[in-house]
Amino acid sequence: MTFKNLARAGFLLLALSFPSLADQQYIVRVNPAAVNGVMAKYAGAWISRALPGSGSGVFVVNLPSGPLGSLLVQLLQRDPAIASIEPDNPVGLPVPSASSVPASARPKLPSLVDSKTYVNYFGSPAWGSYVGQAAATLVGVNASHRYATGAGVVATIDTGVDATHPALAGALLPGWDFTRNAAGASELADLDQDTTPILDQDTTPILDNATTIVLNQDTTPILDQDTTPILDSSLPPAFGHGTMVAGLIHLVAPTARILPLKAFNSDGSADLADVIAAVYYAVDHGANVINMSFSSGADSAELRKAIAYASSHNVICVTSVGNDGQAVNVYPAAYAQTIGVGSTSNTDIRSTFSDYGSDVTLAAPGEGIITTYPQNHYASGWGTSFSTPMVAGAAALLLQMNSQLQITQATQALTQAQPLPGQSLGAGRLDLVRACDYASRTAH
């Protein structure tokens, strides 16, 4: 008798021997016409959902934990009808710890007198300290706008966005919430009755240099004249991350459209399946660029296929390289079809938290970056999460100059960067003027 038949013969005994355990999720590729018949052979396995847009039969399958689940995995791996199976692993937003950013590396933040200065930024009111921040000047945001201001659709796979933020409202497209399988991608849906009032402030938020602590996804305080800092014990640790990312795309490419795709919860966690589904959704709903400010230490065959699908449709994938301060491979940045982004200070020094090495195509400022935050607030953040959307915005500038832009052309233009010898940050630090000038001279 074959292994499979032996396993099936003993299956009912196993099912009776082990108590009910929490399900584990797996991503399974199988012919969609045959999936019901295939799964019917395995008692205890059930299909949770199909991944939309994948087009070739990718499903999330629930299996019981423990020995029973392990046996089912072996059976599915050996079934010739199953093309592949892999765990639906967690994916996280790369968050540097506050201790990884020394006080000496923290740039001076706007003073109290700057907090009420608003400007008209391409038709929307925006805080002047956000528009004119040092990082924007360093990479040449304003100077690049004589070449282009952005075109096409930039999708963000993140925690969602606050669509009511005045600086962003005119740039946002309707998105999708993969955590709830529903239209919309609002971060505000993750707040409850206790945390919502925290953001309902009538006063203008400020970043006071005297009292600001490192603002990252673990501790993102909002400071204003009348309130004390909001610490990470009051708000979910990654709440606002997607709005911050969208704000930086908009800063660089103010006339590009942003498609928010909520695959991450407000605690910064996501299932791999939701991330994969978001990539397919972005491509199938007209995205030209995908910003992926997240990383995973584990390779994934299905994520690799999703990135290849995007690349085959001329979608430019820009991804964070992570915040562990190491020369390590993370995914999707390690895939050849992506543009991996590291972080630098405003003095062109590699950030202590930034990963480096072969995953990095180029870097962009990622320390003390000022950007939008839910409920008409602004916040300052550290991390490659905030370097990445600057490069995604840069790709949208290039897209305006060449509507048929492909990733190889985008990479060639973006790597016309400021060299940073000896820092293992690829071509160096993003220079928007050099990138746009190169694109203008090589466009056909």
178 backbone dihedrals φ, ψ, rounded to 5°? -80, -20
Weakest-pLDDT range from 5-14, 190-199, 373-382: 5-14
Of 200 and 279, the structure prediction assigns the larger pLDDT to 279
d(CA 262, CA 226): 32
- Which residues have CB under 8 Å from 59's CB, separation 6+? 27, 28, 29, 30, 35, 47, 48, 49, 50, 51
Which pLDDT score, from 0 to 100, does residue 280 have? 95
Inter-residue contact 397 to 436 (CB < 8 Å): yes
The residue written with tokens 């995604």 in the block is: 392
- Which residues have CB under 8 Å from 56's CB, separation 6+? 29, 32
Tell me the average pLDDT across 264-282: 94
SS3 180: coil
The tokens describing 357, both together, are: 């090495």
* Beta bridge partner(s), residue 226: none
Q: Check residue 371 and give left, alpha or beta (phi > 0: left; psi -120 to 50: alpha).
A: beta
Reported as a single tens digit per residue, the pLDDT across 10-49 is: 333 333 334 444 689 999 999 988 999 999 999 999 999 9
Helices assigned H by DSSP within 236-332: 241-252, 272-284, 301-312
d(CA 225, CA 220): 17
Evaluate if residue 291 carries a pLDDT over 70: yes
- CA–CA distances in Å: residue 421 to residues 83, 357, 359, 417: 45, 12, 16, 12
Weakest-pLDDT range from 243-252, 275-284, 356-365, 374-383: 374-383
- Domains of the chain listed by start with CATH number: 3-88 (3.30.70.80), 98-442 (3.40.50.200)
Reported as a single tens digit per residue, the pLDDT across 47-105 is: 999 987 755 689 999 999 899 899 999 999 999 999 999 999 999 887 665 455 566 65
Reported as a single tens digit per residue, the pLDDT across 340-394 is: 999 999 999 999 999 999 999 999 999 888 999 888 888 888 889 999 999 999 9
Instruction: Give the model's confidence band at 442: pLDDT under 50 very low, under 70 low, under 90 confident, else very high.
Output: confident
d(CA 292, CA 79): 34
Inter-residue contact 188 to 359 (CB < 8 Å): no
